[in-house]
Structure 1
Amino acid sequence: MGKKITVTVIKADVGGCVGHSSVHSALIEKAQGMLKGSSLLIDSYVAHVGDDINLIMTHELGRNNGEIHQLAWDTFVACTEIAKKLKLYGAGQDLLADAFSGNIKGLGPGVAEMEFEERKSEPIIIFMADKTEPGAWNLPLYKIFADPFNTAGLVIDPSMHDGFIFEVRDLIENTRVNFSAPEEIYDMLVFIGAPGRYCIKRVFHKKTGEIAAVSSTQRLNLMAGRYVGKDDPVCIVRCQSGMPAVGEVLEPFTKPHLVSGWMRGSHSGPLMPVSMQQATPSRFDGPPRVVALGFQLAEGKLIGPQDFFADPAFDQARQMANEIASYMRSLGPFEPHRLHLDEMEYTTMPQVLKKLKDRFEKLR
């Protein structure tokens, strides 16, 4: 057994510039300096998507390590101080606690971590989204690991032919259930087709038990009990050698699917694949964006990144996303552009209902 490497991605919105569109360079520089100065890490990379800072870290301390989570928390707190001085919008909005308490989960930031022994070649892709929620990964992860029309390896690669195990979380009841694909696909789709509640947390190789993918499933509204912004999730996917190829992992994003979030976290819109440079959502604070950064891992070192969605092959997907965005916007405050009522409980909806409750008359 060789040594195991942990890849940890932790994200937070600690202040947008301007509005919700981007991250100020001073915050990025602060985060980079704090991670590079830490003896806990093998390597690190700081990315940004919309108004979110994404800390990508490699180390040998395992998942849920208190020191790693403390480092991320301290980094976000330091960035928040700068955000407050610059009067950035929503400074510290994802930090729901006044102090760190041993594990960053439940405190606001989104977390995705996986621990594994590096293979002879270890390509990984880190997906980072803005203006949406964890369920946004359900459809892409299903296509990547269960749909033979997307992933040819499920049919023609003997090392993948047996399929994958999906761990699905119920974010309301805080429970989980495993589904085996392909034989339990129909059962699984009953749940993951409702991404506001059920999210794919992890995917495992059925034959080897190896971790293949992991997502962040933190729901800010559920933690805070009020609307504090969407969750802007992250996802890590391993590629090649018994896992889906890089191109198979990217393929689902050629057809933008509708996700919840966008303006005020209360609208449905297309998930647009963009380069990190284009991850500055502005139209109606959107539409929602996704960035894909590829790295080769070498003894924990992050070789890269390759900014995959900078490829002009995704130009048509962006055009399609803009067309879908225009159609959805034409619906204004009507569903399905505006989210359905049970997703609106953290907006003005309850206040309006309370104000008008005495005006509702019983029909005889």
Structure 2
Amino acid sequence: MKVTVSVIKADIGGFVGHSDAHPDCLCTADSALARAKEKGLLIDYHVTKCGDDLQLIMTHQKGENNGDIHEMAWDTFVECTEVAKKLKLYGAGQDLLTDAFSGNIKGMGPGAAEMEFEERVSEPIVVFMADKTSSGAWNMPLYKMFADPFNTIGLVIAENMHQGFKFEVHDVKESKKITFKTPEEIYDMLVFIGAANRYPVKAVYTLSGEIAASSSTQKLAFLAGRYVGKDDPVCIVRCQGAFPAVGEALEPFAKPYLVEGWMRGSHYGPLMPVSVAQSQPTRFDGPPRVTALGFQLSEGRLVGPRDFFADVSYDQARQKANDMAYMMREHGPFEPHRLPLDEMEYTTMPQVSRKLESRFEAI
């Protein structure tokens, strides 16, 4: 059967500060999705969180970018925002950038990753969710999963993977996209995806065009002369068969790497793989976290989840991420811990520049 997996997330209010999602918001979302399932809109769903972000994992047969699915998710976030406001949660509804749904959730604040495919005899998927980071955070792990034989041995020894994959890369500033074929165009592709803040990997396909991975690439909306909303991306990866094994899909996160985000969305920090229970960033509102939930699909039903990063084999990665966090924090307000000014989500630079403009002298 053909099934669509939709993962739609939003920050509708933090408990306490930006550290966690309140249980009442999760229960409200669960009830909303249960009603949608009873009406036949959804086949199945799972509600979870990553840090202070509410995550809706859903299966249905309405295809990608479906207005009914997106409106239902939007209404769920609005309902949860009302709960957040009653609890006086921090930043209640901060990812809802407009007052009314306009047909598609894209550009309205929440992030979304979706893929439609014919369900295989065995269909394992992994849903990655991150907090305190931006949409380009998946560039390095997706490259390692689908193009790096040191990570994915299947690229070398599995006949159905040996031919490589195609990467769809978006230019989020110019609203353009390009597709690279690997391994032939790896060097060309790395020129772009190495600049993850501008050129995030949106999707990965087999050479025949079958979807392998899908990520959210929504960047911060620039409204009223300032950045509003947050990124905190999600990603869906199909595994086994013609795709990386589950262990190959998880392996990139065994070595923490630096991503943008962390405190006020304005710092580089290590992405720490954690269980859902440990996705409560507190140190300097961080460091950035990533969770991974695994499901088997059965006629669209979500069998699971498996909380993959609850595994003790990621303890060393967590320790290394903490060591990296200490090193980066020692820089305080100086780069490379703080982002370059043109990439900062919250910054007083324009106001300070205007105030001091008359005091600058020609050299």
Tell me if both proteins adopt one fold, taking TM over 0.5 as the criterion: yes
Contact 2:265/2:346 (8 A) holds in 1? no
Q: CA deviation at 1:346?
A: 4.3
Matches of 2:344 and 2:211, distance apart in 1: 35
Q: How does 1:214-233 map to 2 (within 5 A)?
A: 214-222=214-222, 225-233=225-233
Verify the 8 A CA contact 2:269 2:287 in the aligned structure 1.
yes
1:81-114 deviation line (CA, Å, top 9, x unaligned) = 0000100000000000100011111100001000
Task: Specify the alignment match of 2:9 in structure 1.
Answer: 11
| Equivalent position amino acid for 1:136 in 2 | A
Q: Does 1:29 align with 2:27?
A: yes
- Displacement of 1:223 in angstroms is 6.2
**Is 1:258–2:264 an aligned residue pair?**
no
Coordinate RMSD, CA, aligned: 1.0
Displacement of 1:225 in angstroms is 5.0
> Which string of whole-angstrom CA distances, capped at 9 and with x for unpartnered residues, describes residues 254-293 of structure 1?
0111000000000000000000000000000000000000
Structure 1 runs, 4 residues or longer, greater than 4 Å off: none
Q: Give aligned-pair identity as a percent.
A: 69
For residue 64 of structure 2, what is the aligned residue in structure 1?
63
Larger deviation: 222-231 or 44-53?
222-231
Distance 1:345 1:285, change over 3 A: closer
- Given the superposition, is the C-alpha separation of residues 108 and 182 from structure 1 closer, same or farther in structure 2, using an over 3 Å criterion? same
Matching residue of 1:191? 192
In 2, Cα distance between equivalents of 1:210 and 1:85: 45
The residue aligned with 2:361 is 361
What is the alpha-carbon distance in structure 1 between the residues aligned to residue 345 and residue 5 of structure 2? 35
Q: Is contact 1:227–1:347 with CA below 8 Å preserved after alignment? A: no
User: How far, CA to CA, are the matches of 2:97 and 2:28 in structure 1?
Assistant: 21
Structure 2: give runs of 5+ residues left out of the alignment.
none
Please give the alpha-carbon distance, in whole angstroms, between the structure 2 residues aligned to 1:160 and 1:329: 41
8 Å Cα contact 2:266-2:346 kept in structure 1: no
Amino acid at match of 2:10: A
Shift of 1:227: 2.9
Which consecutive residues of structure 1, in runs of 5 or more, have no partner in the other structure?
Answer: none
Post-superposition Cα deviations, 1:284-320, rounded to whole Å, max 9, x if no partner, equal 0000000000000000000000000000000000000
- Could you give the per-residue CA deviations for residues 142-199 of structure 1, whole angstroms, max 9, x where no partner exists? 0000000000000000000000000000000000000000000000000000011000
Superposed counterparts of 1:162-241, under 5 Å? 162-206=163-207, 208-222=208-222, 225-241=225-241
Looking at structure 2, the residues matched to 50 and 137 of structure 1 have their Cα atoms a distance apart, in angstroms, of 17
Task: Measure the CA separation in 2 of the matches of 1:129 and 1:171.
Answer: 19
Could you tell me which amino acid in structure 1 is paired with residue 169 of structure 2? Answer: V
Contact 2:97 2:228 in 1 (8 A): no
Structure 1 residue identity aligned to 2:135: P
- CA 1:213–1:340 in 2, change beyond 3 Å: closer, same or farther? same
CA distance in 2, matches of 1:36, 1:224: 37
- The normalised TM-score by structure 1 is 0.97
Alignment of structure 1 residues 1-364 onto 2, 5 Å: 3-38=1-36, 39=39, 40-206=41-207, 208-222=208-222, 225-344=225-344, 346-363=346-363
Give the whole-Å Cα distance in 2 for the aligned partners of 1:92 and 1:143.
35
Superposition deviation, residue 353 in structure 1: 1.1
Aligned residues: 360
